[in-house]
Amino acid sequence: MQVKINGKSEDVPSGTVLDLLNSKKIEPQMVAVEVNDKVLDRNHLATTVLNDGDQVEFLFYMGGGL
């Protein structure tokens, strides 16, 4: 299945957003996820099924500053 992740087309297995995060070794608490321009509630990561052609954005939390 083809989805666009952060603007780049990728072939990924079918499944949920949480499955995708796990396959990429991304900790769910370290990222906000947007699917088709809608930010997902963390409680919906395991129940939101990705479809062919979806657009996914990972927004990583960063610490820092002075």
| Bridge pairing between strands 55-60 and 2-5 | parallel
Which pLDDT value is given to residue 17? 98
pTM over 0.85: yes
Which pLDDT value is given to residue 36? 98
**Which residues does residue 5 pair with via DSSP β-bridges, in sequence order?**
8, 56
Residues 17-27, mean pLDDT to the nearest whole number: 96
Residue 19 confidence (pLDDT) above 70? yes
Which pLDDT value is given to residue 59? 94
Residue 29 confidence (pLDDT) above 70? yes
Identify which of 53, 62, 65, 40 has the alpha carbon closest to the alpha carbon of residue 17: 40
Which pLDDT value is given to residue 51? 97
**Tokens of residue 29, six digits:** 């608490």
Which pLDDT value is given to residue 61? 77
